């Protein structure tokens, strides 16, 4: 009998509307704005988003060991955004929950998958991040990426290609 060892993986889901709304206010590209007022507003929104994530994130599994490199698989279902805008804010917010070192520099490999919410299809916005230990869980990370890629392509309507 073969036993799967998944103690190196942690999956975190964020789907509270207030937390997702706060993410829109703290996109990373707004943090480099010229206006001091806009920068303060974005920094305050980022702090609030990080606090909300730490309080509300639904985590399954244990944090990645601080000495191990991490693989992050990020699935975003968010309306009208650039895919790169919220990634840094999400990494900063999740590092204290998912990583043993509390430093997102531990993430050495990352994949991001983006879909859009739909009222017609009852698909609600969410963020789901899965972190794997790169030494022991590469196969599981690749399997998750293949599953998410197939799911995203089928949602786009281009699965016949």
Task: Tell whether the model's pLDDT for residue 29 goes beyond 60.
Answer: no
pLDDT attached to residue 3: 38
Q: 10 Å Cβ neighbour count for 62?
A: 13
CA pair distance 20, 13, nearest whole angstrom? 11
86-119 pLDDT, tens per residue? 888 888 888 888 887 777 888 899 999 988 888 7
Name the average pLDDT for the chain: 82
């Amino acid at each position: 009998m073969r036993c799967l060892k998944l103690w190196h993986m942690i999956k975190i889901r964020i789907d509270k509307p207030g937390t997702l709304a706060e993410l829109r206010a703290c996109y990373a590209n707004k943090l480099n704005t010229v206006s001091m007022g806009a920068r303060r507003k974005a920094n305050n929104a980022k702090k609030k988003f990080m606090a909300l994530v730490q309080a509300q994130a639904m985590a399954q599994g244990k944090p990645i060991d601080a000495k191990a490199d991490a693989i992050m698989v990020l699935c975003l279902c968010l309306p009208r955004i650039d895919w790169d805008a919220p990634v840094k804010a999400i990494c900063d917010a999740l590092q204290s929950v998912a990583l043993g070192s509390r430093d997102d520099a531990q993430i050495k490999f990352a994949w991001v998958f983006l879909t859009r919410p739909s009222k017609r299809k009852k698909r609600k916005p969410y963020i789901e991040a899965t972190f794997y230990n790169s030494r022991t869980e590469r196969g599981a990370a690749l399997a998750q990426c293949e599953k998410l890629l197939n799911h995203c392509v089928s949602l786009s309507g281009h699965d016949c290609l």
